[in-house]
Chains A and B, each alone.
Chain A
Amino acid sequence: MTDTTKETPAFGNANLPLSSFRFTKEDSKLILAHLVFSFIALFIGGFAGLLQGLERGGLVKLPPQMGYYQLLTAHGVLLALVFTTVFIVGFFYSGIARTLGKEMSKNARTFAWIGYYLMVIGSIVATITILTNDATVLYTFYAPMQASPWFYVGAAFLIVGSWFSAIAIFISYVKWRREHHGKASPLFAFMAVATMVLWIHATLGVVIEVVFQLIPWSFGWMPRMNVTISRTLFWYFGHALVYFWLLPAYVYWYVNLPKIIGGKIFSDALPRLTFLLFVLFSIPVGFHHQLNEPGIESFWKYLQVTLTMMVVVPSLLTAFSIMATFELAGREKGAKRMFDWVKKMPWKDARFFAPAVAMIIFIFGGAGGVILASYQLNSTVHNTWFVTGHFHMTLASTVLLTFFGIAIWLIPALNGRLLTPAINKLAIAQTIIWATGMTLMSGTMHIVGLMGAPRRSAFSTYGDHEVALSWLPYQLVISIGGVLLFIGVMLALFNFFYLLYFAPRAEKPVDYPIGEFAEHVKKPPKILERWSVWIGISIVLSIIAYSVPIMQMFQHDAPGSIPFRTW
């Protein structure tokens, strides 16, 4: 391609639109810094995933200086905590700049950079402790296994850094609302704010755990710590974390995708309500990760199971809204029969194809989630490979494929290069490889999990017990799936790298797609943007769900635990 300005690449049914909107240099730099750092984490975390996957399949034997659990820790921390958080913040900044006055304010950018450096420093410190084998505690870092104190300090930096990022988003949002009195905020900004509100509330739990328990205990200032309370604090955060991953994908589906498929956003109020329901029901639910633990009364476990299931409602709302948006867009383009609109979707456009595949996989991911949170049924699958299969379908497919679909247009929109047809094709191939690898890996994990294979375990035949031997062929399939996924990661990273540094420059930047509302859409009710109400209810729900059980933990005060290093 020589003259890039006259020629716009063909994408599905339409040409890839270029736009007059351009990010300021400062914003581009900020957001690209986030994306690039997240890709580095993706690379290391993906590589660690490949190696541990091959070991578990019995295909390779790791060299003595490299432990299975060490790799698993790196895989979890770098992908589930570092990659996701940094990428999400970067994506949010882009939408904030795009929809709230074309750029971020200087103030907001200052907070954003402080947050960035805190997250980078925290991630690097934590990663070093993992690489030196001083923090082989997996990404849930359950006490009383004790990592190097610097691992916990790194984790604290990462989270506190993300709070600065949240402040940067809040500053931009408040400023816009002051300047546009009485108007509903742009949908993207609203959703970003809701997600960060959820994030701050959720991370309070893990920050209390890290700052008041793990750090003083690991430096030796406090000889013992209460393990049940630390686990409860972790899961106060831990389940909301999964919605923190999911909601940015929802943002893309709700706000950006309608533009890409040539449709209109279906409603302004329902998407907001969806996000608010997640703010309410993401946090008072952590006990469903602790159902099989002593020290928590059954009634409270059941109550939290009920609250957990409430997130089915916003997910049903989302499924309907997104499908309705697709169908209306398809009908607009002349689809007549019941399912003709499916054919009218731009399947050859990776910006659509990747998240569309993500949505299909999410049907299975969501169903598995309902099984896991089912009070009694959980006992058949808790801590088996079923769980790993579940979150590789949700986080590592639904969320990740959507993020891949975002990155391929966001990078060129930021650096003024072109998303070329060749990269588009590669991204489609990447999605297919990913879906295939994930079906092999996660699908098999679900099956072998039901047969009893534990998660987070190195290769073992358990003294050649027949049950353990029956898992082996499945473990092989899982490893093959893992290899395909690693090829998928490398291909995605190749695309990003090419788009960052080698793609042809465009005179006009790639369009940043922001959907418009359909004509019939009414202004959302004011109550939806009264944050004090929603934050208030969210806090009240958490108090209802957690105060009595936490009080009981102090009443039946189990003796504290001294530290152990068992790896």
Chain B
Amino acid sequence: MDLPRYEKIWLTFGFGSLILFLVILGVMAFGQGLHPPDSMKTTIDPEKVETTAPFNEPGLKQIGPNEYRLTVLSYVFGYNPGTVRIPAGATVHFEATTRDVVHGLYIPNTNINLMLIPGHITEYTHTFNEQGEYLFLCHEYCGAGHHIMQGRIIVE
């Protein structure tokens, strides 16, 4: 196959920048540990979720100095807990699941963008440095009331 010279230059440049880009993504992922949530081994029976720890007691628990575990149970069409108050600078370890259909847990203008799949527990850690009232909402279609499914994290 004969490639014209300009096409070789074009492809070399294009492919080169692509590889560079993928290397940067790879270094960020495996060097700096910047992964989207994967949470491999944590499964739970969605039908017994309300009697299974930790989802039998959803809510905020302090586990260290300004460090919290936030256990969220989602359902059509809401979250338990629906409102959470934390001090500024708090590191929050989310663990969330659903007792029915697939939901999302998304906080606009943050990196918190989680899918909640029945049978799985989604885990993610985030530090809230700025004060304010953060809206969290369901961003995966879950039924007639999908667009009212929401909650608040109030950082004081």
Contacts and interface: CB of A to CB of B under 8 A. Distances in A.
A and B are interacting partners: yes
Contact of B37 (A231, A292, A467): A292
A227 B118 CA distance: 7
Nearest to B132: A466
Most chain B CB within a 10 A radius of its CB, from A292, A384, A455, A561: A292
A129 interface: no
Contacts of A457: 139, 141, 146-147
A302 B26 contact: yes
Given A295-B117, A302-B26, A556 B10 contact: no
Most chain A CB within a 10 A radius of its CB, from B121, B123, B137: B137
B67 interface: no
A379 B144 contact: no
14 contacts: A69-B146, A292-B114, A293-B117, A295-B39, A302-B30, A306-B26, A312-B14, A316-B11, A379-B111, A465-B133, A467-B135, A558-B43, A558-B120, A566-B101
A57 B26 CA distance: 39
Most chain A CB within a 10 A radius of its CB, from B122, B138, B139, B152: B139
A530 to B, nearest CB: 15
A183 B146 CA distance: 57
Nearest to A465: B135
10 closest A-B pairs by beta carbon, nearest first, are: A452-B108, A566-B143, A558-B119, A460-B147, A294-B39, A454-B139, A294-B120, A383-B139, A559-B45, A558-B43
Contacts of B45: 559
B117 A231 contact: yes
A465 B28 CA distance: 33
B55 to A, nearest CB: 14
Contacts of A376: 25, 28-29, 34-36
A460 B148 contact: yes
A524 B137 CA distance: 54
B18 interface: yes
A174 to B, nearest CB: 25
Query: Taking chain A's interface residues, is the majority helix, strand, or loop, or is none over half, making it mixed?
Result: loop
B76 to A, nearest CB: 5
A392 to B, nearest CB: 17
A273 interface: yes
Interface of B: 1-4, 6-7, 10-11, 14-15, 18, 21-22, 25-26, 28-30, 34-47, 76, 100-102, 104, 106, 108-109, 111, 113-115, 117-123, 133, 135, 137-148, 150, 152
Interface of A: 67, 69, 136, 138, 142, 144-145, 226-228, 231, 267, 269-270, 273, 290-298, 301-302, 305-306, 309, 312-313, 316-317, 320-321, 324, 370, 374-376, 378-380, 382-384, 451-460, 462-463, 465, 467-468, 522, 524-525, 552, 556-562, 564, 566-567
Contacts of B121: 294
A273 B1 CA distance: 10
Nearest to B133: A465
Given A270-B1, A379-B36, A458 B146 contact: yes
Given A451-B108, A454-B139, A462-B135, A558 B1 contact: no
A564 B120 contact: no
Nearest to A295: B120
B43 A375 contact: no
Given A294-B38, A294-B122, 19 more contacts: A144-B100, A228-B120, A269-B1, A292-B114, A293-B115, A293-B117, A294-B117, A294-B123, A295-B119, A298-B36, A309-B18, A324-B4, A382-B139, A452-B109, A457-B141, A524-B1, A556-B41, A558-B44, A561-B119
Contacts of B152: 465
A551 to B, nearest CB: 12
A559 B109 CA distance: 33
A254 B86 CA distance: 58
A379 to B, nearest CB: 5
Contacts of B21: 309, 370, 374
A558 B76 contact: no
Contacts of B44: 558-559
B137 A67 contact: no
Contacts of A561: 46, 118-119
Contacts of A293: 37, 115, 117, 120, 122
A456 B113 contact: no
A316 B10 contact: yes
Contacts of B146: 69, 456-458
A144 B76 CA distance: 12
B109 A292 contact: no
A383 B113 contact: yes
A112 to B, nearest CB: 34
A291 B124 CA distance: 13
B101 to A, nearest CB: 5
Given A295-B120, A451-B109, A566-B142, A468 B115 contact: no
Given A227-B118, A383-B104, A465-B133, A145 B143 contact: yes
A145 B143 CA distance: 8
Contacts of A145: 101-102, 142-143
A562 B47 contact: yes
Given A292-B115, A560-B119, A561-B118, A144 B101 contact: yes
B95 to A, nearest CB: 10
A142 B36 CA distance: 21
A468 B1 contact: no
A297 B45 CA distance: 20
Contact of B14 (A142, A313, A324, A456): A313
Contacts of B40: 294-295, 297, 552, 556
B18 to A, nearest CB: 5
B36 A317 contact: no
A382 B115 CA distance: 10
A273 B2 CA distance: 12
Nearest to A266: B4
Contact of A463 (B4, B28, B120, B150): B150
Nearest to B43: A558
Most chain A CB within a 10 A radius of its CB, from B4, B28, B108, B138: B108
A297 B38 contact: yes
Nearest to B116: A294
B139 A298 contact: no
Contact of B119 (A227, A291, A298, A524): A227
Contacts of A313: 11, 14-15, 18
B3 to A, nearest CB: 8
